Amino acid sequence: MKVAVIGLGQRGSNYIRIISLFCKDIEIVAVCDKNKVITDQIAKKYKVEKKFYDEKDFFGAGKLADAIIVATQDRDHIRHCNLAIDNGYDKILVEKPVSPIIEECVALQKRAEEKNISIVVCHVLRYSKYYKKIKEIIQKGIIGDVMTINHTENVGYFHYAHSYVRGNWRDSSVTSPMIMAKCCHDFDLLQWFIDKKCLAVSSFGGLSYFRKENMPKGAADRCIDCKVECPYNAMELYITDPLHKATFLRFSGRILTGKSGSTKEERIEALENGNYGRCVYKSDNNVVDHQIVNMLFEGGVTASHTVTAFSKNFYRRTHVCGTKGEIIGNDLDGKLTVNIFKGKSKTIGTKWIKGLGHIDGDINLIKDWCKLIQGKLEDDKDVTYLSHTIPSHKIVMTAEESRLQGGKVLDID
Ligand X SMILES: NC(=O)c1ccc[n+]([C@@H]2O[C@H](COP(=O)([O-])OP(=O)(O)OC[C@H]3O[C@@H](n4cnc5c(N)ncnc54)[C@H](O)[C@@H]3O)[C@@H](O)[C@H]2O)c1
Are 34 and 40 within 8 A, CB to CB? no
Choose, by CB under 6 A, the member of 4, 5, 6, 226 that binds ligand X.
6
- Phi/psi for 322 (5° steps) reads -110, 175
CB of 42 to ligand X, least distance (A): 10
Task: Give the DSSP letter string of 302-314.
Answer: EEEEEEES--SS-
**SS3 (DSSP) at 347:** strand
Residues in region 357-386 near ligand X by CB under 6 A: none
Rounded distance between C-alpha atoms, residue 322 and residue 341, angstroms: 10
Per-residue string for binding with ligand X, 86-115, x by CB under 6 A?
---------xx-------------------
> Which residue's Cβ has the minimum distance to ligand X?
9
CA atoms within 13 A on the CB side of 205: 24
* Closer residue to ligand X (CB): 78 or 181: 181
Q: Is 34 a residue that touches ligand X (CB under 6 A)?
A: yes
Residue 20 or 168: the one with the smaller Cβ distance to ligand X is: 168
- The reply to whether 168 sits near ligand X by the rule CB under 6 A is yes
- Helix 386-404 × helix 102-115 angle, to 10°: 170
Given 55, 188, 360, 368, the residue binding ligand X (CB under 6 A): 55
The CB-of-38 to ligand X minimum distance in angstroms stands at 6
Examine residue 71 and tell whether it contacts ligand X (CB under 6 A).
Answer: yes
Q: Which stretch, 33-41, 127-135, 195-203, 288-296, contacts ligand X (CB under 6 A)? A: 33-41
Q: How far is it, in rounded angstroms, from Cα 201 to Cα 180? A: 15
- H helix or E strand, kind and range, residue 402: helix 386-404
Q: Is 282 helix (H, G, I), strand (E, B) or coil?
A: coil
Options 23, 32, 69, 183; binder of ligand X; rule CB under 6 A:
32
End-to-end distance of the chain based on CA atoms, in angstroms?
40
Of 35 and 374, CB closest to ligand X: 35
| DSSP letters for 36-85 | HHHHHHHHHHTT-SEEESSHHHHHHT---SSEEEE-S-GGGHHHHHHHHH
Q: Does 150 bind ligand X (CB under 6 A)?
A: no
Q: Does 250 bind ligand X (CB under 6 A)?
A: no
Residues that bind ligand X (CB under 6 A): 6-12, 32-35, 38, 55, 71-74, 76, 95-96, 122, 124, 168, 181
